[in-house]
Each structure stands twice: as C-alpha cells, then as structure tokens.
Amino acid sequence: MRFGWLRRHERHLEEYRHRREQQSPCPGLATPETPPAAPPFAEPARTEGPDPAEPEPNPPGGAGAPAEADDAEATRAEMLTEKARQLTRAGRHADAAAPARAAVRMLGTLAARDHRRHGPALVGGLRAFAAVLAADGRTEDAVKVAASATEHARRLAAFDHRAHRPLLALALRESGARLGDHGDGPAALGALHESVQLFRTLAARTPERHRVELALSLDELAGRLAAGGASEPALAAFTEAERLLGVGPPEARQAAVLLRHATLLARLGRGPEAIALAAEAVEVRRGYASAEHAPAGRREDELAASLQSLGLLHSAAGAHEEAVDALEEAVRLRARRVRADPVLARRPEVPVTYALYGIVLVAAGRPADAVPPLAAALGVGTALNLDRVSDLAGDTLVRAHHADPDAVRNRWLAATGEELPDWIERGRRPLPHQTDRRRVHRPVPQEALPARD
C-alpha cells in the first residue's frame, strides 16, 4: 500500500523536491527548508527570467519530455563528464570544473523528471564532479557533492537493491575519499567500511564482476587507516587488496595499491619490504606500458610515477646509485612526454619529478649534476606559482651550493647562461614576492638530463 500511495502522488513529490533542489549547491541534492549560503561551485541565482536548469512543468507532447530527447541530453551530459575527466588527467583542474558542473545540472534536471531512469547517470556525474573539485583543492565542496551522490545512490538502492547496490558502494567509496581529504577521518572510515562490506557481499556472489572494485575500496580504506595511525589493520587491508588484484592478468591499478602499501611499510621502518613492493609495482606498470591496449601517454605517466616512488625509497635506504637510476628514467619519461606535447610541461607532476631527481643526486654526493634538474623545477614551479615545488627545488639548490660552491656556480652558469642568484650563495631564500627569486632560468626539460652516449 505504501508504494502504491507513492506512485499515485509521485509527480507532486517530485515537483516539491525539485523546488528544494534548485536551492542546493548541486542539482539533485535537496536542502533543508532554510538553505545555507551557496558554496563557491554553485551557480549564481537568477533574479529574472527562467532558470535554464528548471524543467518545464508541462513540456509539449505529454507529461514529460520525450524519451528520445532525454536520452540525447543524457548523452551530452556524459560527454561533458568525460571532458572534465580528461582535463583533470591533464592537470587542468580549474578548467575541468565547468563541464563537470554543467553535466551535473543537466543530469539533475533529467533525474528530477525520471529518477529511476536517469538517477544512475546523475550519481556518476556527481562522483566525477566531486573528484574534479578535490583535485582542485576544494575539499569542502567535494564532500558536499559526494554526499549528494551517495544520497541519490541510496534512493536508487532502496527502490532496487539488487540493481543499484554496486552504485551505492561506488558512491560510498567516493564519499569516503572526499571526507578523508577534508580531514574528517571517522566519517571517511564509516563510509569506506560500508563500501567494503557491500562489495564483499557482491564479490562473494559474482567475484569476476566485483573483485577489482572490492580491492579498490580496500585500498582506499587502507590508506585512510594508515593516515589515522591504524597500521596493522591498514597492512591487512593492503594485503587483501593486492591478493584480489593479483588474480588473473596483472592490472595497472594493482601498482597503485602496491605503492601505497610500500609507503606504509617504509613509514614503519620496513625498508627492504617497501622497496620490494615498489619494484614489483614498477614491473607491473612497465608491462602495462608495453601493452597495446594501454592508453597512449597515460602508461608513461604511471610508469614515471612508480619509478619516482621507487627511487625515493632507494635513496632513503642509502642505495643512492639505484635511486639515481630510477629517477633518471622517470625524468626521461617526463621529457619524452613534454617533447611530444609541450603543454604537458605545465602539469605539476613534471617539475616535481625534476626536483626529486635533483634531491637524490645531492644525496648521492653529486651536487653539480643536480643543478640542471633543480633549475628546471625552480623555473617551472615559479612560473606556475607552485610554491611547494619552488621551495623544494630552491632549498635543495642551497644545500647543493653548500656542499660544493664552485662546482654548483660553474654548472649553473653553464646550464642557464646566467650568474648564480645571490640568494643561493647567501643560503637564504627570498620571500615569494621578491623579484629576484623569479629571475631564474627556465630550461626546457631535456636540458636537465645528463648526457648519454
């Protein structure tokens, strides 16, 4: 009887809910009767004229828009979501927000008309939007959008538990990750435990369909447990995730789990085990990079990131030659990508790799060789206002100069054609607003590489 009543009054409920949704930070999330101030990602309220996100109460041709038109609109929204993902992968996080937001607004309008049909796509769009906001550092906004995705997924799962339980588990994992990024550890763990529990139930019935997703939820849970100091449960979750991903052909996603596990082991003082896992991750990604089905460019990026992690672990263990070899290969991969597409030089991970290469060279007792990659990292980091990269490269240059002043001075002149900045010689870096800090050479990435026969 209860569901019959809902069906008879469904239109009235949806219209009431939609009026409340229009006050929400994102379409589809109903707000309290007195809504809070709209967050930065909300569209400004219109003072006149119709709201483009407001569906017509009585569109032509029937009680709702024709199914074909709705499907076409949903397809356009999915294309916008994919564009946002591509921009995020390219490091253009601010640019990715607009298409992701537009997709959510379109899907929110469709779901308000037919939630059962378009609700799953809305959940996917909200999850993508939350990831975009998180990548742009807008963690509070990301938490709200991820919570909206979870709310819609719960609503769908309540209607059809069997069909939409995987969607709810995915939304919970996204919500847990965003809560963890925002510093709400207990809430993050609650969402992630629920995601793991749901995927564990699903994988017990159809392991071939849900094994990988269970592993990824375990991996996210392990990372949050480790961040909260629960080392033993984190290690157990990492181990289970690796076992699940190790079934069948190796997948590139397994490498990310191995690297996070290695980082935790290193933090616990278990260096040799950490290095072994990181080396395994490199081999997984090296095999993936040579596979024909691997996405072009992405495979080199992932291999470079794995080599970077392995090199840092080697350096921390005192294996400086191995550290230099790993970081040098990572830099060469980055340089190859930048030569193919110079726009990629603006991605933050590129100057980070150069800075880390300089760090391991200094640690290996080669301060002069560290100058070219550090100069590249400092120049790009300063130009892009990446303060952490600039600080890392600048501080390492000061240490390199302290170790061998004459060699570093000569190498800087040879690499940049300019005299060594005074602040490096003084050993005291200027404040970010001071102009002399910006007068640094910005070599193209390949200049930072040592010559190879």
Single out the residue in 133, 152, 183 at which a domain terminates.
Answer: 183
- The position carrying tokens 């909260």 is 228
Q: For 376-381, which contacts have Cβ atoms below 8 Å and span 24 or more sequence positions?
A: 376/351, 376/442, 376/443, 376/444, 376/445, 376/447, 376/448, 377/351, 377/352, 377/448, 378/440, 379/440, 379/441, 379/442, 379/443, 380/345, 380/346, 380/350, 380/351, 380/354, 380/442, 381/351, 381/355
Q: Residues 255, 284: contact at Cβ < 8 Å?
A: yes
Q: Please give the angle made by the CA atoms of 358, 361 and 364, to the nearest 5 degrees.
A: 155
Q: Domain check: are 83 and 145 in the same one?
A: yes
Query: Whole-model pTM?
Result: 0.65
Domain end call among 278, 306, 334 = 334
CA 338 to chain centre: 20
Domain, as residue range, for 428:
348-453
In a domain, 9, yes or no: yes
Q: Could you tell me if 359 and 435 are in contact, meaning their C-beta atoms sit under 8 angstroms apart? A: no
Q: Is residue 254 part of a domain?
A: yes
Same domain, 211 and 94: no
In a domain, 2, yes or no: yes
Q: Does a structural domain hold residue 41?
A: no
Task: Give the pLDDT confidence score for residue 224 in this predicted structure.
Answer: 94
Overall number of domains in the chain: 4
**Which pLDDT score, from 0 to 100, does residue 232 have?**
93
Residues 19 and 133 in one domain: yes
Would residue 53 count as lying in a domain?
Answer: no
Is 451 in the same domain as 354?
yes
Q: Give the distance, in angstroms, between the CA of residue 320 and the centroid of all CA atoms in the same chain.
A: 30
Looking at residue 199, its pLDDT comes to 97
Are residue 146 and residue 242 in the same domain, yes or no? Answer: no
- Domain match, 128 and 2 both: yes
* Residues 100 and 13 occupy one common structural domain: yes
Tell me whether residue 4 is in a domain. yes
Tokens coding 43: 């569209």
Rounded CA gap, 138 and 42, in Å? 13
- Residue at 46 is within a domain: no
100 belongs to a structural domain: yes
Residues 189 and 258 occupy one common structural domain = no
Predicted pLDDT at 372: 96
Do 154 and 87 reside in the same domain of the chain?
A: yes
The pLDDT assigned to 19 comes to 45
Note down pLDDT in tens along the chain; length 453 residues: 434 433 433 444 344 444 444 444 444 444 333 333 333 443 433 334 444 333 344 444 444 446 778 888 999 999 999 999 888 877 677 889 999 999 999 999 999 999 999 999 999 999 999 999 998 889 999 999 999 999 999 999 999 989 999 999 999 999 999 999 999 999 999 999 999 999 999 999 999 899 989 999 999 999 999 989 999 999 999 999 888 887 555 455 688 888 989 988 998 899 999 999 999 999 988 887 666 655 667 788 889 999 999 999 999 999 999 999 999 999 999 999 999 888 877 788 999 999 999 999 999 999 999 999 999 999 998 888 888 899 999 999 999 999 999 999 999 999 999 999 999 988 876 655 444 444 444 444 444 554 443
- The enclosing domain of 268 has a CATH number of 1.25.40.10
Q: Is there a single domain that holds both residue 255 and residue 231?
A: no
Write down the pLDDT at residue 385.
84
Shared-domain flag, residues 178 and 274: no
Residues 85, 176 within the same domain: yes
